Chain A
Amino acid sequence: MNVGIVIVSHSPDVAKGAADMVRQMVGQGIPLAWTGGNPEGGLGTSVEGILSAIDEAWSDAGVAILVDLGGAETNSEMAIEMLEPGRQGKVVICNAPVVEGAVMAATEAWGGSDLATVKRTAEELNHDQD
């Protein structure tokens, strides 16, 4: 089973758009979910939305989350802590740009790599710019 990918952006349009780009690359080869926007449909992120996205993209191989700005990360960390204990250790947040990171992570996941490798591949994007 391949690692799942969750895309979290303040903007639902960005999150959905990034997910579309991922699907173009990997088709239905990985579990994928996106979430964005606050409960009223404005810009923002919510723990509730992230929890259900993790659920949707759940894989026993783990789930890698890509986030955009600060609140997306804080809310994602909170969401991970609210998961049942057995799932907590199988979800990681990638320190990578949300769009490029999602496409890179998904491509790696599609090849069957484990969660740590998927995360590392997404985060290599940061080192390219050093």
Chain B
Amino acid sequence: MDTSKARQLVEAIARTVIAHAEELTQLDQAIGDGDHGVNMKRGFEAVLADLDKLAEGNVATLLTGVGRTLVMKVGGASGPLYGTLFMQLGKSWPAELSARSFHATCRAAVEAVAVRGKSQRGQKTMLDVLLPVCDELAKETHRAALRAYAATCAQATVPLEATRGRASFLKERSIGHLDPGARSAQLMIEAVCDSLGAL
């Protein structure tokens, strides 16, 4: 993967998230503080604005730079969380990309998010998408199947009771709602799967 391809993927992620900002905000209004969409939009607009500069180096520096921009610009817990995801992807980016090394890189990144959020799977968060999808990468699943799996994982947060994040304040009233973080994680994975098909 060269920087220009990675840049296209980042751009696809940014445009997808921005296009769904309203939906993410509505999901967050139901069980959170209602700022997930607007926060993510702000962060990814900043990424798009800085993309020329961010893409001046290699894939690793691009991803790290995207992470730093999200950390500084999102303004909400999702900033440090998604920022950590991209920063760790950049930090762990392999010298030689293979299915195996890509899985290891994603694993490191998703685990860094879990540490940052002091969270784990099953708490109705973005990790309920990121962790299982990352596991699925080890099986070298085709991107169409991976895309569908991400959607299944996000939907599986609906019956969960939130035990982490603002939604946990609602206790059992958080049941029956799609988690906004799981949805944004799903959207990013979909954007990557779709773009890989087009590259």
Contact = CB atoms under 8 A, between A and B. Distances in A.
Interface of A: 10, 38-40, 42-48, 69-71, 74-75, 77-78, 82
Interface in B8-23: none
A70 B71 contact: no
B79 interface: yes
Nearest to B43: A39
11 contacts: A38-B42, A39-B73, A39-B75, A44-B35, A47-B71, A48-B72, A74-B77, A74-B117, A77-B116, A78-B71, A78-B80
A38 B77 contact: no
A48 to B, nearest CB: 5
A40 B79 contact: no
Interface of B: 33, 35, 38-39, 42, 71-77, 79-81, 83-84, 116-117, 165-166
Contact of A45 (B75, B81, B165): B75
A46 B72 contact: yes
A39 B69 CA distance: 13
Contacts of B79: 46-47, 75, 78
A38 B35 CA distance: 10
Given A43-B35, A44-B39, A71 B76 contact: yes
Contacts of B117: 74
Q: Which 6 pairs of residues, A with B, have the shortest CB-CB distance?
A: A38-B75, A71-B77, A78-B80, A46-B75, A74-B77, A44-B75
A38 B43 CA distance: 11
Contact of A70 (B83, B84, B166): B166
Given A38-B35, A74-B117, A78-B116, A44 B76 contact: yes
Given A38-B35, A39-B42, A78-B116, A45 B72 contact: no
Nearest to B77: A71
Nearest to A69: B166
Contacts of B76: 38, 44-45, 71, 75
